[in-house]
Amino acid sequence: MPKGQPESVPDDGLTTRQRRNRPLVMVHTGDGKGKSTAAFGLALRGWNQGWNVAVFQFVKSAKWRLGEQTAFEALAGLHAEKGVGGPVEWHKMGSGWSWSRKAGTEDDHAADAVEGWAEIKRRIAAQEHDLYLLDEFTYPVNWGWIDVDDVVETLRGRPGHQHVVITGRRAHPAILEAADLVTEMTKVRHPMDAGQKGQRGIEW
């Protein structure tokens, strides 16, 4: 979408430049396809700007690997070798997180989710990244594993200039309220409705 004009100008004491560069909380929710893919597309833009990007996938299976992970590892390699774009870290919950030295907690996804969020909070406080992509993060919040008030407080109070993208169905109302941008991906038609299973290159 080309650069547009805002529909109204708020009385917030900020200059247009300050307002333009305000860091954002973005949420992609809804039952339709494209929540994660749009977040990864956004991460491509961040990479191109030289941003320090960190992806945290709140998925249960370590076996599940998206094509995007391979692509971003390649782009991170280009950054390391040639200095183009920015660095990208990719962390996946699976059974335990990559930074964790403990053995996989195969049977305690709740504990893994809590640990993941604690690490993200630590990094936000330390301003470690320019863009945090919390993929499928709505689920551990909705299941009560991660405290939604803590999430909202952390997002609202985050220091510096850090963007956050959250994906997943049924985003909690408090998170929607804290977001600057919310897009709902609505399913109009999906091949699975016509009996077609997911396929390589499309679903992963």
Q: Which of residues 154-173 bind a copy of itself (CB under 8 A)?
A: 163
Q: Is 81 in the site for a copy of itself (CB under 8 A)?
A: no
Token pair of 69 as six digits: 């992970």
* Residue 89 sits in the site that holds a copy of itself (CB under 8 A): no
For residue 24, count other CB atoms closer than 10 A to its CB: 13
Residue 64: name the closest of 40, 98, 38, 94 by CA.
Answer: 94
Q: Which is nearer to a copy of itself, 119 or 184 (CB)?
A: 184
| Contact in structure between 29 and 170 (CB atoms under 8 Å) | yes
Q: How many CB atoms lie within 10 A of CB 51?
A: 20
**Smallest distance, a copy of itself to C-beta of residue 125, A:** 22
Please, which residue, 159 or 198, has the CB nearer to a copy of itself? 198
Rounded CA-CA distance 108/88 in Å is 27
Tell me how crowded residue 119 is: count the other CB atoms within 10 A of its CB: 17
Q: Which is nearer to a copy of itself, 8 or 144 (CB)?
A: 8
Closest distance to a copy of itself from the beta carbon of 101 (Å): 27
| Binding map of a copy of itself across residues 110-149, x = CB under 8 A, - = no contact | --------------------xx------------------
Contact in structure between 137 and 60 (CB atoms under 8 Å): no
> Any contact of residue 96 with a copy of itself (CB under 8 A)?
no
Q: How far is the CB of 182 from a copy of itself (least distance, A)?
A: 4
